[in-house]
Amino acid sequence: MRKLSIIWACFVLAVFSPKLFAYTQWLGSPEDTNWNNPNNWNGGVLPTDDKAGVKTEPVGPIIGTGDVAVCKQLTLGGSGGGTVTINGGVLNIAQYAIMGNVSGENGTLILNSGEFNAGTNFYVGFAGTGTAYLDGGTVSVGATFGIGDKSTGIGTVYLGGSVVTCTTFRMDNLGGATAKMDIAVGTLIVDGDEASNIQTYIDDGWIVAFDSNSTLEMDYDVRNPGKTTLTAVHPLNIYPGNGQTVGVDVTALRWNLPEPSTPGGVVTCDVYYGTELNPLSPNYDYSKVVSNEPVESYAVTLESQKRYYWKIDVFEDGVMIFDGILPANFDAGNAAPDVDPGGDITAWLIGGQASLELVGTVVDDGGPVPYTVLWTVAAQPEGSTIEFTPPSADTESVRVVCSGAGSYFYVS
């Protein structure tokens, strides 16, 4: 019997080997903020195949442009806090990510740009406190994106500008938790028809737009086939709106200023506009183009294949009443090529045929792909024949042989 007990003890020891349940924690006094520096983790080993714990302050990992951070699981937040910041890099989590794992712990995620990818679940405020500032980039959740799970959970998500995609979305999953999502120019996309569940969260006041200063817009199978999409309506009705693609013929940014709240009050605005962003929010590399003016438009000249960023702050009698916080972005789409097929040509029939050269010119911006050319016959005399050289007629200049007198019309 004792022999059997010894064998059983050895078996249990082997199954629960620490190697199988490794846990790698971010050091409280790291050398730097580089996730991929082994010296910043206990044991001097990266958590690539293990659970990563970021449970200390004040210095947490910062994942910058070009960095790819990897772990099996992530626990973010301890009794003293814990913050992960993504500034243009990528954080790939093979399984789940939990912010505020137990009561009394609190964690913070700051996504300014880049990617945050969780293979299974992502909980903000599981049983403790979690706060996520999703100001740019993308969040991809393979299973459930949850805000506030257990009764002690406190989860807050500021969906400033990120695009979040997930299979399932839940708030206060088990009852009693505190859950909030504030959407500005970000987007939530959930698989399937989740409109009814999400509408319940909206009705309960758990999901708001622009700090409760605007309304939400939700659809199923419209903007994203087979998915539920939730965004906020900008309170100033800006155009172009966030995520839009517009033509280069758009000549002005437009918005609607609110009416003054007091008789005789003066409402003005500051407008910021440009084509580049610094990933270190909120130091955006664009310029103030309108300063304290009571206007509702700003003239622009757009270039094809460029992304633009802009935001508005609104003031009444010099006091800010609306903080744009994060910029909306829009794309200037491809401009149509400028085609000139050339002028009219008169030619004489010799031996019943006329040979002439059509010379066209094309001016194009080069994107998104090289242009193509095709000459076609719009009209010709009845009974006449036409031959192109080369036969494909797919170059700017072609030679054409016509038989029969009359007018021929070609389109390039």
DSSP 203-262: HTTSEEETTTTB-EEEEESSSSTTEEEEEE--TT--BSPTTEEE-TT--EEE--PPPPSS
pLDDT category, 285, cuts 50, 70, 90?
A: low
Q: How far apart are CA 280 and CA 225, in angstroms?
A: 33
Tens digit of each residue's pLDDT (9 = 90 or more) over 77-123: 999 899 999 999 999 999 999 999 999 999 999 999 999 999 999 99
Q: How far apart are CA 373 and CA 362, in angstroms?
A: 9
Q: What's the average model confidence in pLDDT over 274-278?
A: 72
pLDDT tens for 343-366 read 888 888 888 888 888 888 888 766
216/110 Cα distance (integer angstroms): 23
Instruction: Tell me which residue of 293, 289, 235 sits closest to 266, measured CA to CA.
Output: 293
Note whether 395 and 359 are within 8 A (CB): no
CB within 8 Å of 125: residues ≥ 6 apart = 99, 100, 131, 147, 148, 149, 153, 154, 155, 156, 177, 178, 179
Confidence class for position 9, pLDDT limits 50, 70, 90: very low
Mean pLDDT, range 24-30, rounded to an integer: 90
Res. 21: pLDDT tops 80: no
Map out the domains of the chain as residue ranges. 18-232, 244-332, 338-411
pLDDT at 286 over 80: no
Q: What is the pLDDT of residue 348?
A: 84
CB 274 within 8 Å of CB 309? yes
pLDDT of residue 371: 79
- pLDDT, position 354: 85
pLDDT at residue number 1: 37
- Rg, the chain, Cα only: 30
pLDDT top residue among 381 and 72: 72
Residue range 296-313, pLDDT digits in tens = 999 999 998 888 989 999
Considering only CA atoms, which of 163, 167, 51 is closest in space to residue 111? 163
Show the tokens assigned to 362. Answer: 């094309």
Structure confidence at residue 41 (pLDDT): 95
What pLDDT does 125 receive?
A: 97
- What kind and span of H or E run contains 310? strand 306-316
Q: What are the φ/ψ torsions at residue 54 (nearest 5 degrees)?
A: -115, 100
Lowest mean pLDDT across 9-18, 95-104, 157-166, 369-378: 9-18
Tokens of 164: 């979040």
Asked if pLDDT for residue 54 goes beyond 60, the answer is yes
**Is the predicted pLDDT of residue 20 greater than 60, yes or no?**
no
Measuring CA to CA, how many Å separate 284 from each of 135, 398, 401? 12, 50, 60
Integer Cα distance of 410 and 388 in angstroms: 11
Average pLDDT over every residue of 404-412: 71
Q: Given a cut of 70, is residue 176 above it in pLDDT? A: yes
Whole-number Å distance between alpha carbons of 109 and 115: 12
Please report the pLDDT score of residue 366 as a whole number: 66
The pLDDT score that the predictor gives to residue 18 is: 35
Q: What pLDDT does 14 receive?
A: 37
Q: Which one has a higher pLDDT value, 98 or 277?
A: 98
Gap between the Cα atoms of 185 and 323, Å rounded = 13
Indicate the pTM of the whole model: 0.74
Specify the pLDDT at position 2: 36
For residues 11-15, average pLDDT:
38
Lowest average pLDDT, out of 100-114, 238-252, 258-272, 348-362, goes to 348-362
Fold for the domain defined by 244-332: Immunoglobulin-like (2.60.40)
Buried b (16+ CB within 10 A) or exposed e, 83-99: bbbbbbbbbebbebbbb
pLDDT tens digits, one per residue of 66-87:
999 999 999 999 998 999 999 9
pLDDT of residue 393: 65
Looking at residue 63, its pLDDT comes to 96
Query: Contact 309/275 with Cβ under 8 angstroms?
Result: yes
What average pLDDT does the structure give for the chain? 87
Which residue has better confidence, 89 or 3?
89
